[in-house]
Structure 1
Amino acid sequence: MKQDTKQREDGRATRERLLDCAEALTAAKGFASVTSKEICQQAGANLAAVNYHFGSREGLYEAMLYRVHDRIISQTTLQDIAEGAGTPREKLERFFDSLLWSVQRGGRAGADERAIQVWLREALGNATAFLPILRHLATTKFPWVRKLFADYLGRSEGDPVLYSGILHTMAPILLLNLKDFFPIAAEDEPMRILRDPAFHAAMRMYAFAGLDALKKA
């Protein structure tokens, strides 16, 4: 029994090392430029470990991206916000805070810079492989985001105005994450501003100004 437990623990540890190494190498040069051999060598595992733990190289890719996106914002976090206590505005504010803090390393959303680098690198540079991941998230996480906006705007889930509100609110936040592709040092003025709580407060104020205009329309 103890041996079986140890084998399971060793298996979980190997799986996590493979994900960690795949993520680090993907952040550096993109998954398409990384070989399974490189990942296994860095993880201290044999080449068969990828198929054993993930079924295939594609399975490893999917597992890595799902884990990365959960560090940016998890489905549990979205569900807790949407179903938790508070007014529609308070819930949407908590959602904004989670995303805005994900711009910072170690933010409250549990994100780090490498996670965002991996996500954006693959979204921008590996569209064919990335699209199935996006479709999956559209059916698991996006419905909670849509509910938060629909409740605040008082719009049905099929209303085009609702999607306009989501798009114009999310686009600036997504743009902030592109900072990881800018040649800006951590101590530079633009980076300092992005980390300033006053900047985040202004971003949230801007978002609600647009949403409130849609509510009155």
Structure 2
Amino acid sequence: MKTDTKQREDGRATREKLLDCAEQLTAKKGFASVTSKEICQMAGTNLAAVNYHFGSREGLYEEMLYRLHNRIISETALQEIAQSDRTPREKLETFFHLILWSAERGGRSALDTRAIQIWMHEALSNSEAFLPILRHLATTKFPWLRQIFAEYLGRTPDDPVLYSGLFSTMAPILLMNLKEFFPIRKEETPHRIFSDPTFHQAVHAFAFAGLDALKKTVAL
């Protein structure tokens, strides 16, 4: 019995090690340039480990991206916000607090930052392997996010105005997370600006100003 337990624990440890190594290598050069051999060598395991634990290299890729996105924001967190007794404004405030690198939160950890950078890089890679992850998120996390925005705007889930408000609000936040791809030194602008709490407060104010304008000026 103890042997079985030890094997399961070793299997979980190996699985996590493979994910960690795949993440580190992807952060350096993108998953398309990473081989299973590299991942296994870095993890200190045999080449068959990827297929054993994930079914394929693509299975490892999907699991890595699911794990990364959950570090950014989990489905449980979105569901809790959407189903809470908070006012529509408070729900959006809570969502922004989780997403933005706010001064109150003390900034994201290095792992959180890497998760966002890898996610954005892979999202822009135009890889077909990325599509199943997007479909999964469209049926799990996105409905809760849509509900949060729909309540604030007073719109139905299929209203084009809702999507206009949602995507217009998220665009600046996504831009903030693309800062690592700007071809300038980190000590220069805009890197310094993106780490300034005032910048995050301004993005927050801008988001609500746009959403409030939609509520007032677009006819129901």
Structure 2 equivalent of residue 16 of structure 1: 16
- The aligned runs of 1:1-217 (5 Å cut-off) are 1-101=1-101, 107=108, 112-217=112-217
Residues in 2 aligned to 1:34 and 1:152: alpha-carbon distance in whole angstroms = 43
What are the superposed Cα offsets for residues 115-159 of structure 1, whole Å, 9 maximum, x if unpaired?
122112211114211111111111111001100000000100111
Indicate conservation of the 8 Å contact 2:179/2:190, yes or no.
no
SS of residue matched to 1:101: coil
Structure 1: 5+ residue stretches without partners: none
Indicate conservation of the 8 Å contact 1:32/1:126, yes or no.
no
Q: Matched residues, percent identical?
A: 73
Indicate conservation of the 8 Å contact 2:73/2:98, yes or no.
yes
Q: How many residues align?
A: 215
What are the superposed Cα offsets for residues 177-209 of structure 1, whole Å, 9 maximum, x if unpaired?
110112444443432321222211111111001
Indicate conservation of the 8 Å contact 1:106/1:112, yes or no.
no
Indicate conservation of the 8 Å contact 1:113/1:180, yes or no.
no
Moved more, 115-124 or 47-56: 115-124
Structure 2: 5+ residue stretches without partners: none
Residues in 1 aligned to 2:33 and 2:189: alpha-carbon distance in whole angstroms = 33
How high is the TM-score relative to the length of structure 2? Answer: 0.91
Indicate conservation of the 8 Å contact 2:26/2:118, yes or no.
yes
Indicate conservation of the 8 Å contact 1:153/1:215, yes or no.
yes
Residues in 2 aligned to 1:78 and 1:181: alpha-carbon distance in whole angstroms = 28
Q: Which runs of 4+ in 1 moved over 3 A?
A: 183-189
Residues in 1 aligned to 2:8 and 2:125: alpha-carbon distance in whole angstroms = 36
Residues in 1 aligned to 2:124 and 2:175: alpha-carbon distance in whole angstroms = 13
TM superposition shift of 1:11: 0.6
Say if 1:133 and 1:173 are closer, same or farther in 2 by CA, change over 3 A: same
Residues in 2 aligned to 1:157 and 1:68: alpha-carbon distance in whole angstroms = 27
Question: Which amino acid counterpart does residue 179 of structure 1 have in structure 2?
Answer: K
Measured on the aligned residues, the alpha-carbon RMSD in Å equals 1.9
SS of residue matched to 2:178: helix
Residues in 2 aligned to 1:57 and 1:190: alpha-carbon distance in whole angstroms = 36
